[in-house]
Amino acid sequence: MSEQPTLEEFTESARNFLEANATHRPPASEFVWGQGSDDVAVFDEKDSEAELAEAAAARAWRAKRFDNGVGWISGPKEYGGHGLPGAYERAYSALEAHYETPSMGLFTISLGMVAPTILAHGTDEAKSQYLRDLYRGDTVACQLFSEPGAGSDLASLQAKAVRDGDEWIVTGQKVWTSNAHLSEIGEIICRTDPEMPKHRGLTGFVVDMTAPGVEIRPLRQMTGGASFNEVFFNEVRIPDTHRLGDVNGGWGVALTTLMNERASIGAGGGGGGGGLTSPRRIHAMLEHFGLANDAVVVDQAIRIYSQFMVARWTNQRALDKIKAGALPGPELSTAKLSLTNNLKAYSEWMGQVLGPRIIADTGEWGTYAWSKMLLGVPGMRVAGGTDEIMKNIVAERVLGLPKDPGIDSTTAFKDLRVN
């Protein structure tokens, strides 16, 4: 067994890899209104050709990273990882941030949600078959949870899986599935026992997205893009070795994925808002439109910026706990809720600042481009759990308030009988 390298040795090796395979990222230039791209879309929406080219570049970079020992730094060795502490992973991420590399957005769901779930709940065969390929970029995964009639109430899903010997036959529909058209596999939750209470009759699986009976259709959004898909399953066969967790234990599997999902979403901008909310950008915009001395507009800008900064610090505390080994907790629901609340407030304020400029494309820089953000924010209020679901989680698990009775709960039925 080789001796574990020191953090300094690992960092030096990683730096040598990056020097040989990537170029240095140029220093961030000072923001100047009217210069550079004015794209501020919430969802990264490209045409098919550009999307495929970006995906190919992302896969190639992940493969190169993996083959050079920095693809899954902290993962278990038996599944292709290197078994190093999380500090080594963070050190590499900090280094790579200084280099120009392809966007890794394609793997947000694969590595931020599905892979951790397979590692936690998958069979030995599924772990051996998929984890290495997921982290190398050979396989991309999507998440198949939401349904047309059960978007917010996941436990009400109706896609069914019926056992047939050593296989399961899946029939049903999923919706709002990001990257389904680019994925080789998906994590799906199905109803396997309709007689059990709705949270207990569910089972999770890894499904082959290229299997016979799988149909993927893009969903066009009001932004004009198609970031999501609806997926139909017509008697799709899944081997039992691809089951996640116990039969009818899918609710726990789903919670593992959802907690990791909210960690990914919260870390991805729920706090800071990045350059979009930088004081320099906001001030330049207000000056350009002659509003820098409008006390009401400036006060609104300061409030929005402050909310982004408070959320950033709150999120950082939660993410630091996860990096230290703690499991994702309900505070990540706060992070996700902060993201959508802040983006909603910011987009509405931008609508007030820009007025008619946001609805008519005159070609003026920094005006109509904001319509993509304004139209995209409602989608973020659904992604990863609706705002209403997040509020219930915070109320019950953070504030300790009584659970809101559902129509299918014993308490609810007792109340109905009394009345």
Which of 102 and 378 is assigned the larger pLDDT?
102
CA 301 to chain centre: 27
Position 316 scores a pLDDT of 79
H/E stretch holding 288: helix 279-288
Position 107 scores a pLDDT of 95
Residue 120 buriedness (CB in 10 A; 0-12 / 13-18 / 19+): middle
Per the listing, tokens 């726990």 go with: 252
Give the total residue count for the chain: 419
Which of 380 and 292 is assigned the larger pLDDT?
292
Closest CA to 377 of 230, 270, 301, 286: 270
Helices (H), ranges, 163-212? none
Tell me the whole-structure pTM to 2 decimals.
0.84
- Percentage of residues in the chain having pLDDT higher than 90: 61
pLDDT of 403 above 70:
yes
282-299: pLDDT as tens digits: 999 999 999 999 999 999
The tokens describing 111, both together, are 């590595």
Q: Name the pLDDT band for 234 (thresholds 50, 70, 90).
A: very high
CA 252 – CA 144 distance, rounded (Å)? 15
pLDDT of 262 above 70:
no
Mean per-residue pLDDT over the chain, rounded:
88
Lowest mean pLDDT of 38-47, 79-88, 292-301, name the range. Answer: 38-47
151-198: pLDDT as tens digits: 667 888 999 999 999 999 999 999 989 999 999 999 999 999 999 988
Position 192 scores a pLDDT of 97
Q: What structural domains does the chain harbor?
A: 9-22+44-103 (no CATH), 141-253 (2.40.110.10), 271-398 (1.20.140.10)
Lowest mean pLDDT of 120-124, 178-182, 269-273, 274-278, name the range. Answer: 269-273
Please tell me whether residue 74 adopts helix, strand or coil conformation. coil
CA 218 – CA 229 distance, rounded (Å)? 4
Residue 123 CB partners (closer than 8 Å, separation 6+) = 241, 242, 243
Q: Which of 51, 89, 147, 261 is catalytic?
A: 261
Buried b (16+ CB within 10 A) or exposed e, 327-363: ebbbbbbbbbbbbbbbbbbbbebbbebbeebbeeeee
Q: What are phi and psi of 132, to 5 degrees?
A: -60, -45
Position 270 scores a pLDDT of 40
320-375: pLDDT as tens digits: 776 676 666 677 778 888 888 999 999 999 999 999 999 999 999 999 999 988 99
CA 119 – CA 111 distance, rounded (Å)? 11
* Cβ atoms within 10 Å, residue 17: 18
CA 280 – CA 340 distance, rounded (Å)? 23
Read off the pLDDT of each residue in 30-34 and give the average, rounded to a whole number.
87
- 235 as an active site residue: the answer is no
Position 152 scores a pLDDT of 66
Helices (H), ranges, 355-409? 370-380, 387-393
Lowest mean pLDDT of 9-23, 122-136, 264-278, 308-322, name the range. Answer: 264-278
**What letter does residue 164 receive in the DSSP assignment?**
E
Whole-angstrom Cα Rg for the chain: 23
The count of C-alpha atoms lying within 13 angstroms of the C-alpha of 403, restricted to the half-sphere facing its C-beta, is 7
223-233: pLDDT as tens digits: 888 888 999 99
The count of C-alpha atoms lying within 13 angstroms of the C-alpha of 369, restricted to the half-sphere facing its C-beta, is 13
Position 414 scores a pLDDT of 39
CA 183, 240, 159 angle in degrees (round to 5)?
A: 60
Position 415 scores a pLDDT of 39
Read off the pLDDT of each residue in 41-47 and give the average, rounded to a whole number.
82
Q: What are phi and psi of 386, to 5 degrees?
A: -65, 160
Residue 26 CB partners (closer than 8 Å, separation 6+) = none
Read off the pLDDT of each residue in 102-120 and give the average, rounded to a whole number.
94
pLDDT of 28 above 80:
no
Position 42 scores a pLDDT of 83
For 155, 288, 353, 391, 419, the CA distances from 395, given in Å and listed in that order, are 19, 42, 34, 6, 27
Strand 202-208 and strand 185-191: the pairing is: antiparallel
